[in-house]
């Protein structure tokens, strides 16, 4: 997800989707999947995942704060210039 290679972004997204199926409550996977969606231009799906993580994860889960920041950044990005 941290590369600039679009092919690797799509591949990473597929792997993260599979990881999520195996471990749906592994919040780092959900967060990284949201980031993968940002990389492939699907901010709408990334926002859904960030919100899902915040709603389902325990409040003390570190990824909740990261998902909150991601949601804020995505909403800011949607504002008209």
Nearest to 37 by CA among 61, 18, 21, 17: 17
pLDDT (tens digit, 9 = 90+) per residue, 34-73?
A: 999 998 899 999 999 999 999 999 999 999 999 999 999 9
* Token representation of residue 53: 């993580």
* Token representation of residue 4: 């600039």
Classify residue 23 by its DSSP letter.
Answer: -
Other beta carbons within 10 angstroms of residue 28's beta carbon come to 15
Q: Is the dihedral of CA 19, 21, 26, 29 positive or negative?
A: positive
pTM, two decimals, is 0.87
Task: For residues 47 and 38, give the distance between their C-alpha atoms in angstroms, rounded to a whole number.
Answer: 9
């Amino acid at each position: 997800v941290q590369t600039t290679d679009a092919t690797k972004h799509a591949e990473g997204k597929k792997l993260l989707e599979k990881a999520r199926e195996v471990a749906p409550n592994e919040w780092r996977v959900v967060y990284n999947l949201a980031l993968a969606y940002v990389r492939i231009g699907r901010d709408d799906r990334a926002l859904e995942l960030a919100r899902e993580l915040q709603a389902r994860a325990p409040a003390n889960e570190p990824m909740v704060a990261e998902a909150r920041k991601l949601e804020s950044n995505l909403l800011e990005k949607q504002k008209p210039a």
